[in-house]
């Protein structure tokens, strides 16, 4: 069983914000794989593909994402190494992704919550670039909506992230890191 969790905040107020990029990826994967992510379970919206994959949108708000994921990991008896977390990173330029099989939170409160709740840093993740942030006010920045230019590029970015997720599932995270961490998706900020 693999759990793919996209991080975000519930509610229409946050729906189109940069901080909800993880939710957008889950929605995109659900459409691509014909999965309905509409069942409430363990304080999350979930959708299953066969009996081996679950798409998850924790509804505990970003900073408490770990609480919901811990419940799912326990319920489905899944190792933290079989959880793929997808979340925004304001220190990466928009259009870039970074895949890691473990590591610290990098200051991301949602990932920090997950590391604390699961008791390990050995959690695979995909960080989605939403930066660069303005010199000050990063909290406002992550809760703001994408620019018109970024919105036009989102379909291409979401497609590339979905391809990276599929590559991880089929070929493993090591190969995916070699392939996807070496390049920008090609949208840049210029």
Count the neighbouring beta carbons within 10 Å of the beta carbon of residue 41: 16
On whether the CB atoms of residues 65 and 71 are closer than 8 A, the answer is: no
Instruction: Provide the 8-state DSSP code for 143.
Output: T
On whether the CB atoms of residues 165 and 126 are closer than 8 A, the answer is: yes
b/e per residue 109-136 (b: at least 16 CB within 10 A):
bbbbbbbebbeebebbbbbbbbbebeee
Secondary structure (3-state) at 182: coil
Does residue 19 have an active-site annotation? Answer: yes
User: Among 3, 8, 19, 153, which one carries the catalytic annotation?
Assistant: 19
b/e per residue 18-33 (b: at least 16 CB within 10 A):
bbbbbbbbbbbbbeee
Q: Is the dihedral of CA 33, 44, 159, 175 positive or negative?
A: negative
Catalytic positions, written as ranges = 19
């Amino acid at each position: 069983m693999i759990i793919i969790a996209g991080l975000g905040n519930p509610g229409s107020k946050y729906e189109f914000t940069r901080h909800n990029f993880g939710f957008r990826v889950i929605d995109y994967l659900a459409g691509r794989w014909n999965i309905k992510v509409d069942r409430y379970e363990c304080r999350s919206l979930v959708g299953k593909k066969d009996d081996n994959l679950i798409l998850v949108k924790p509804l505990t708000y970003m900073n408490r994402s770990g609480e919901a994921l811990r419940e799912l990991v326990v319920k489905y008896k899944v190792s933290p190494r079989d959880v793929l977390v997808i979340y925004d990173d304001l220190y990466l330029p928009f259009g870039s992704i970074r895949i890691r099989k473990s590591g610290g939170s990098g200051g991301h409160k949602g990932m920090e919550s997950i590391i604390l709740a699961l008791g390990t840093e050995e959690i695979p993740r995909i960080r989605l670039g939403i930066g660069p942030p303005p010199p000050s006010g990063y909290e406002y920045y992550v809760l703001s909506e994408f620019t018109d230019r970024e919105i036009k590029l989102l379909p291409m970015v979401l497609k590339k992230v979905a391809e990276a997720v599929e590559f991880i599932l089929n070929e493993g995270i090591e190969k995916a890191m070699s392939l996807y961490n070496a390049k920008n998706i090609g949208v840049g900020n210029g």
